[in-house]
């Protein structure tokens, strides 16, 4: 089956001579039809540059971009079967919502009657039926974002590119829009390529995640694969919070050398004399800090074996403020060996 998007050896350089900067360095990636793929990484990791090259806003310095099996590496943006949604929405303030959504259709030569019908259908798909006569200034941030989505979807592109589209929203609205956007993607069945630096957003919305670092992809996988089985130390540290046990500390605590990842929520904070089963590993240390984070409490523990471990316990019973009494106390941290993952293997 032909991939919706295929990148082969994609490279992008800015500048020239001694001042050349490699923003994207040999990226290979396939995106399936109907997939929600997220490009995740810190600022400057290359994810947005890759998106702009897929859109045609930047030309690659090397490599190939295919859409539906066709090489579009040098094809201008308006001839590519993609649309892009930006963080700032880019709506025309002087036009009504209806005219904003119709605009691309009219430029493409679609008749007025068909443009009106398709715009109304697009607005209904993003739950904005009846809002067509309003101006963007009369809408909330979330509603303006949905207008931008409707305008991008009305042309029925093969691929929708989204460049941090929720970044300008407040936290509660952002979380609501994450759910709505994923539901919309399932409904329309279009391939979505979504750029974000927000790890939780990527885990919440994606079918697969491509984790970027320094212009390269460090890992591609489902949210569960990337979170539970990080391929590199960078992925383990960037996607959520992870404890890394390495070298002598790993040998002393786990009994074997290497680099191992254990997520904080997998670790229990117990008394020093708590029993440890054959299926479990443990470490003893002193609680340096206790941090209340609402739904849970985070414990930062300095290990006797060296280094530190962070444990996160859900506040499901008792009084969370009592946890603060453990600050400065010696404790035993226990976790199931099943949750230790050797990084890089």
pLDDT digits (tens, 9 = 90+) for 244-276: 999 899 999 998 889 999 999 999 999 999 999
pLDDT for 99: 92
Alpha helix ranges (H) inside the chain: 47-55, 97-107, 112-125, 141-153, 171-188, 199-205, 223-228, 233-238, 247-254
Q: Which pLDDT band holds residue 59 (cuts at 50, 70, 90)?
A: very high
Is residue 319 scored above 70 in pLDDT?
Answer: no
Average model confidence (pLDDT) across the chain: 91
Q: Which of 9-13, 21-25, 63-67, 86-90 has the lowest mean pLDDT?
A: 86-90
pLDDT digits (tens, 9 = 90+) for 14-39: 988 788 999 999 999 999 999 999 99
pTM: 0.89
Give the integer Cα–Cα distance in Å for 139 and 271: 55
pLDDT for 104: 83
Average pLDDT over residues 3-11: 97
pLDDT for 109: 84
Average pLDDT over residues 177-181: 87
Domains with residue ranges and CATH for the chain: 5-238 (3.40.50.300), 243-342 (2.40.50.140)
DSSP 213-245: ETTEEEEEE-HHHHHHS-SSHHHHHHSS--EEE
Residue for token digits 């990148």?
7
Give the integer Cα–Cα distance in Å for 91 and 94: 9
Alpha-carbon 270 to chain mean position? 34
pLDDT digits (tens, 9 = 90+) for 98-152: 999 998 888 888 888 999 999 998 898 888 898 999 999 999 888 888 898 889 8
pLDDT for 106: 82
Average pLDDT over residues 195-208: 94
Give the integer Cα–Cα distance in Å for 80 and 99: 23
At 100, give phi and psi (nearest 5°).
Answer: -60, -45
């Amino acid at each position: 089956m032909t991939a919706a998007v295929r990148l082969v050896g994609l490279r992008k350089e800015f500048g020239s001579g001694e001042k050349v900067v490699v923003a994207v360095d040999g990226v290979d990636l396939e995106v399936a039809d109907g997939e929600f793929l997220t490009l995740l990484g810190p600022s400057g990791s290359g994810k947005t540059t890759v998106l702009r090259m897929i859109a045609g806003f930047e030309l690659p310095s090397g490599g190939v971009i295919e859409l539906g099996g066709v090489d579009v590496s040098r094809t201008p943006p308006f001839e590519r079967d993609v649309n892009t949604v930006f963080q700032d929405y880019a709506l025309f303030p002087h036009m009504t919502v209806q005219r904003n959504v119709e605009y691309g259709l009219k430029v493409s030569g679609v008749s007025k009657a068909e443009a009106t019908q398709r715009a109304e259908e697009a607005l209904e798909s993003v739950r904005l039926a009846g809002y067509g006569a309003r101006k963007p200034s009369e809408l909330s941030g979330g509603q303006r974002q949905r207008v931008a989505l409707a305008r991008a979807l009305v042309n029925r592109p093969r691929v929708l590119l989204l460049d941090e589209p929720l970044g300008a929203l407040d936290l509660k609205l952002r979380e609501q829009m994450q759910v709505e956007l994923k539901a919309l993607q399932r409904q329309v069945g279009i391939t979505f390529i979504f750029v974000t630096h927000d790890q939780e957003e990527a885990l919440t919305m994606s079918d697969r995640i491509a984790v970027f670092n320094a212009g390269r992809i460090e890992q591609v996988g489902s949210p569960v694969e990337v979170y539970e089985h990080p391929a590199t130390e960078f992925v383990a540290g960037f996607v959520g919070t992870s404890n890394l046990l390495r070298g002598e500390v790993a040998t002393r605590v786990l009994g074997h050398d290497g680099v191992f990842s254990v997520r904080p929520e997998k670790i229990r904070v117990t008394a020093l004399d708590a029993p440890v089963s054959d299926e479990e590993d443990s470490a003893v240390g002193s609680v340096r800090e206790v941090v209340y984070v609402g739904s849970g409490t985070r414990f930062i523990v300095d290990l006797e074996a060296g280094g530190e471990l962070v444990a996160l316990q859900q506040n499901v019973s008792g009084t969370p403020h009592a946890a603060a009494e453990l600050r400065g106390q010696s404790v035993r941290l226990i976790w199931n060996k099943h949750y230790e993952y050797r990084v890089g293997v």
